[in-house]
Structure 1
Amino acid sequence: MRLVRHQVDLPHSELARGSVVTIGAYDGLHLGHTQLLDRVVKTARARGWPSIVMSFEPTPKEFFAAASPPARLMRFREKYEALADYGIDIFYCPRFDAAMRSIRADAFVRQILIHGLNARHIVVGDDFHFASRREGTIEHLRKASKALQFEVDQVPSIVVDGVRVSSTEIRDALADGNIGRATALLGRPYRMSGKVVKGRNVGRSLGYATANVDIRRRQSAVLGIFAVRVHGLPQGPLDGVASVGTRPTFDLCKPVLEVHLFDFDADIYGEYIHVDFLAHLRAEEKFSSVDELVAQMAIDAENARMALAAHPV
C-alpha cells in the first residue's frame, strides 16, 4: 500500500482510468469500517481501479479540540498497517489545517475527489458529512455525481444491541472498562501495538518483570489493569496482565503500557508487539506502600489467569 501525504505526489498515471474512494477517520477499523472497506476493495478489483482511503492528519476532531482531543483508538502506524492488510492500494492522508477546514463542499468534490483522485466510485457510510462546517452530505454527492460522472455507494451502518457501531461508542465502552462491548463493536479484541523499550525496572524489582511498550500516545483510550494476550513474538501468543496509566504510586504523568507475561523470561527489547485486551480487572489505584502494591499485583495476576481461561487461544 502506498502512503501519499500531498496531492502533488498522487500517482496520476495509476489513477488515469479512475479510482474507488472512501473518506473518513477510520479510527479503530470497527465493524462499520470493515464493511465499507470490503465494498471498496471488492468494487476496485471488479473495475480494475486502485482503491483509496482518504483520511486526515490530524483528524478534524483533533484539530477543533486541540486542547483536549478524543483519545485515538489507533496510532497512525496501526491504522496504516490495518488498511494495508485489508488490501487498500493508496492511503491518501493530507494535513488537516485552516485551508482544508475552509474548503466548501463543491470545491472539495471537484478539486480533491475528481481532479486529485479521479474518483469514479465513492463509498460512504450513511452518516457521511464533509467539507467546511460538514455542509457536504450524501445528497450533495449524489447531485454532483450526475454532472461529474461518478457513482455514489452508500453503505448502511452496522447496529449491535440496538446501537450504531461508531468509534465514539467504542471509546465510551473502553472508558467504562466494558471490554466485552468494545470487542463486540470492533469485531475483535481492542489492541495496542508498540515497541518494547527499556523502562525503570520497577516491576522487576518488585518480582513482576514487565515489558514496557512505547504506545506514543498523549492519552490512552483504556486505563486500568487488564487481562491481555500478546502477539508478535516468536514464542507465539502469550498471556499476561497489563497496566495502562500513569502509575500513580510512582507519580508519573504520561500514560504507559506495561505487560507482565506469565511464565516467560526472555529479552524482548526492541520487539514490536501487539497487546490484545480481553478483560478489565480494576481501575488504576495509588497505594500507600510498595508492599501493598505488590500484594495487589499478585491478586491481579491470579484474576487475569482466571479471566483468560474464558478466552482460549
Structure 2
Amino acid sequence: MPAIVEDWRAVPDALRGATVALGNFDGVHLGHAAVARAAHGARPDLPLAALTFEPHPREHFRPEDPPFRLTLLPAKAEALGALGVVTVFAARFDAAFAAMSAEAFVEEVLHRGLGARHLACGHDFAFGHRRGGDLAFLAREAEKRGIGLSIVPAVGDEGGPISSTRIRRLLQDGYPERAALELGRDWELRGEVFRGDRLGRELGWPTANILLGRQLEPARGVYAVTVRLADGAVVKGVANVGRRPTLGGDPVTRLEAHLFDWSGDLYGQEIGVRLHGFIRADARFDGLEALKAAIASDATAARRMLEAWSG
C-alpha cells in the first residue's frame, strides 16, 4: 500500500523529488494506468508518485449530485499501488484550492510542495482556478522550473476513449464485466458490515449488509460476486443491490451478500464485494416464500456464472 500524504505543504523530505502522475484517478482505469506508466518510463530512476484530489472536484462543486465515486481514497491508493506508485499525494480540494491560480498550482504545489522532477498527465488534464491551466501552460511553466513533462494520449477501444464516465455508465446499465475490461480488474464496492434485521438468516440465506455511502450505485439487482474479507480471504457468493421492495422498501440502497459455503461473524468488519456478472433486476415478490425461491435460483445462477468466470 502506498504512503498517503494529504497535506502537500508538509511533504517529508524522503518523499519529495518523485516522478508524478497527475489526475483524479477515479476508478484507476486503463487510461490512468497509462499515465502512471508514462511517469515511470520517463524517469525510472525516480520513485513513482501520483497527485490526486480529495474529495473529487465534482463532489466539491456539485455536492447535490448523487454519489458517483468508483473508488474512494483507500481503494484508489491500493489500485495505484498495484501500478507501482509508492506515494499518493491526496490534495484536499476545498474552496481555497479551487481558487488557486494555475501558476500557483505549478509553483506552490508541484514545485515547492512536492518537489516534482517529472510530470505525466492525460491529454485533457486542466488545472487551476476555473481550469485556467492547459497543457501548453503546464509545459511552459514546468520547463522554467526544470521539471519534465509527458502528455499521454487517450487509451481507447472500439467504443472510443476509456473514461471514468463511461465506466460509471456501464455499471449503472448492469454490465460489470464490461466495466472490468476498462478498469483492468473487477469493480469492487467496500463497506462496513452492519447488523440488519436478520431476515436473510431466517430465510436460510444469511447476508452481510453494507451501505454504499459515496460510492456509485450500480444497476439495482442481483449479481454473482466474490467477497474479500478483512483477513484477505476471498469467498464466492451472490449479492443484491437494492432497497428490498418485497419488504416494503428501504430509504437507502444497500448491498446484501450471501457467501457460499462460509459461516462466521462479519459485523463491524470492512469487506470488498466485487461484481462479476448481473443476474436479474431488483424485483418485488409476492411474499417471503416467493422471495426465498428466487434467492435459491439466484444462488444457482451465481455459482454457474462464477464457475465460468474462474475457469
TM normalised by structure 1 equals: 0.89
SS of aligned partner of 2:25: coil
Q: CA deviation at 1:13?
A: 5.3
SS of aligned partner of 1:203: helix
Q: CA deviation at 1:269?
A: 3.8
The within-5 A match list for 1:56-75 is 56-75=53-72
Return the letter of the residue paired with 2:273: V
- Mapped to 1, the partners of 2:139 and 2:130 lie a distance apart of 19
2:34 matches 1:35: yes
67, 85, 109: which one aligns with 1:88:
85
Partner of 2:109: 112
Q: Is the 8 A contact 2:174 2:218 kept in 1?
A: no
SS of aligned partner of 2:165: helix
User: How many residue pairs were aligned?
Assistant: 309
Return the letter of the residue paired with 1:21: V
Partner of 1:25: 24
Q: Is the 8 A contact 2:240 2:256 kept in 1?
A: yes
- Mapped to 2, the partners of 1:299 and 1:266 lie a distance apart of 23
Which range moves more in the overlay, 180-189 or 168-177? 180-189
Partner of 1:4: 5
Q: CA deviation at 1:144?
A: 1.6
Q: CA deviation at 1:222?
A: 4.5
Return the letter of the residue paired with 1:9: A
Partner of 2:137: 140
Q: CA deviation at 1:112?
A: 1.2
SS of aligned partner of 2:92: coil
Which range moves more in the overlay, 234-243 or 22-31? 234-243
Q: What root-mean-square deviation, in Å, do the aligned CA atoms of Structure 1 and Structure 2 show?
A: 2.3
Q: Is the 8 A contact 2:208 2:258 kept in 1?
A: yes
Partner of 1:151: 148
The within-5 A match list for 1:68-217 is 68-213=65-210, 215-217=212-214
SS of aligned partner of 1:279: strand
Q: Is the 8 A contact 1:244 1:256 kept in 2?
A: yes
Q: Percent identity?
A: 36
- Mapped to 2, the partners of 1:111 and 1:309 lie a distance apart of 52
- Mapped to 2, the partners of 1:38 and 1:179 lie a distance apart of 25
Q: 1:214 to 1:87 in 2, by over 3 A?
A: farther
Partner of 1:309: 307
Q: Is the 8 A contact 1:61 1:70 kept in 2?
A: no
Q: CA deviation at 1:117?
A: 1.2
- Mapped to 1, the partners of 2:143 and 2:297 lie a distance apart of 64
Q: 1:253 to 1:296 in 2, by over 3 A?
A: same
Q: 1:284 to 1:310 in 2, by over 3 A?
A: same
Partner of 1:286: 284
SS of aligned partner of 2:193: strand
TM normalised by structure 2 equals: 0.90
Q: 1:266 to 1:14 in 2, by over 3 A?
A: closer
CA deviation string 1:216-274 (max 9, x = no partner): 43652453210112234769542211011222333212222211122333334454433
Q: Is the 8 A contact 1:71 1:221 kept in 2?
A: no
Q: Structure 1: which 5+ runs fail to align?
A: none
Q: Is the 8 A contact 1:32 1:166 kept in 2?
A: yes
The within-5 A match list for 1:241-252 is 241-250=238-247, 251-252=249-250
